[in-house]
C-alpha cells in the first residue's frame, strides 16, 4: 500500500491566494478604465467650476443691476429737480420778458391800453350818464383828444370827463361811473401774475417759490 501524500495546508492556501490575486482584466482594459475615470473626474470638476463661475457672475450681475438701479433712481431725482428749476427759470424769464415788452410798448404808445379799456367801457356803459377817466399828468392832453374822438365813434352819449392824477403811472388809468369803476394798474397786475406763477411752481415742485 502506497504511503498517503501528506496534505500541506499552507501550500494549498498560497496557491489559492495567488490565483485570486491574478488580474481579471487586461492591461488595455485597465488603462481604458483609468482614462475614463480621469475624464469623468475632469468633466465633473469642469461642471462644478463652471457652476461656481456662473453663480459668481450672477451675483456680480445682480449687484451691478442693483447699483445701476440706485444710480438711475438718483439720476431721475436729479433730473426731476433740474426740470423743476428749468421750468421755474423759464417761467421767470417769460414773466420778465413780458414785463419788459409791456414797458417798451407803454413807452412807445402810452395810451394804447387806456384806449382799449375805455372802448370796452363805452360798449358796456352806453346808458351811463357820465364817465370819468383819470390818467397820468403827461397824458392829459393826448387822452382828451383821443378819448373824445373814441366816444363819438362808439356812440357814447354820456358826459366824458378826462382828469389828470400824478399818482397814476404812465400807461395806467382809473375809470369811474355812477355805479362802479375799474382801474388799469400794470404793477398790481404784474404782482398778481408773479404770485400765481409762484403758486404754480410750488404745486409742481413741492417747494415754495417766490418770484418778483
Question: What three-state secondary structure class fits 117?
Answer: helix
Q: What's the CA gap between 95 and 101, in Å, rounded?
A: 10
The topology under which CATH files domain 109-191 is hypothetical protein PF0899 fold (3.30.2320)
What does pTM read for this prediction? 0.49
Query: Which residues lie across from 177 on neighbouring strands?
Result: 180
Most confident by average pLDDT, 19-23, 44-48, 98-102: 44-48
pLDDT at 137: 93
Q: Is the pLDDT of residue 129 over 50?
A: yes
Q: What's the CA gap between 160 and 19, in Å, rounded?
A: 144
7 DSSP 8-state letter: P
Of residues 210 and 142, which shows the higher confidence score? 142
Q: 14 is written with which cell numbers?
A: 498560497
Average pLDDT of span 135-160 = 92
Q: Percent of the chain, pLDDT > 90?
A: 21
Q: What's the CA gap between 93 and 96, in Å, rounded?
A: 5
Amino acid at each position: 500500500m502506497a504511503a498517503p501524500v501528506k496534505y500541506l495546508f499552507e501550500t494549498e492556501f498560497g496557491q489559492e491566494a495567488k490565483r485570486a490575486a491574478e488580474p481579471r482584466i487586461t492591461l488595455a482594459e485597465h488603462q481604458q478604465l483609468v482614462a475614463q475615470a480621469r475624464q469623468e473626474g475632469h468633466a465633473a470638476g469642469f461642471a462644478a467650476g463652471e457652476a461656481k463661475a456662473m453663480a459668481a457672475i450672477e451675483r456680480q450681475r445682480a449687484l451691478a443691476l442693483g447699483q445701476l438701479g440706485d444710480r438711475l433712481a438718483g439720476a431721475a431725482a436729479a433730473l426731476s429737480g433740474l426740470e423743476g428749476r428749468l421750468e421755474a427759470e423759464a417761467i421767470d424769464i417769460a414773466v420778465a420778458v413780458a414785463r419788459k415788452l409791456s414797458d417798451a410798448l407803454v413807452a412807445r404808445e402810452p395810451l394804447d391800453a387806456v384806449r382799449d379799456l375805455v372802448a370796452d367801457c363805452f360798449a358796456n356803459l352806453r346808458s351811463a350818464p357820465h364817465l370819468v377817466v383819470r390818467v397820468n399828468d403827461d397824458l392829459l392832453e393826448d387822452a382828451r383828444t383821443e378819448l373824445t374822438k373814441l366816444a363819438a365813434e362808439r356812440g357814447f352819449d354820456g358826459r366824458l370827463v378826462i382828469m389828470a392824477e400824478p399818482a397814476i403811472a404812465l400807461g395806467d388809468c382809473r375809470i369811474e361811473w355812477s355805479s362802479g369803476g375799474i382801474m388799469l394798474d400794470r404793477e398790481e397786475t404784474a404782482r398778481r401774475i408773479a404770485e400765481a406763477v409762484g403758486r404754480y411752481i410750488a404745486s409742481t415742485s413741492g417747494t415754495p417759490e417766490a418770484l418778483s
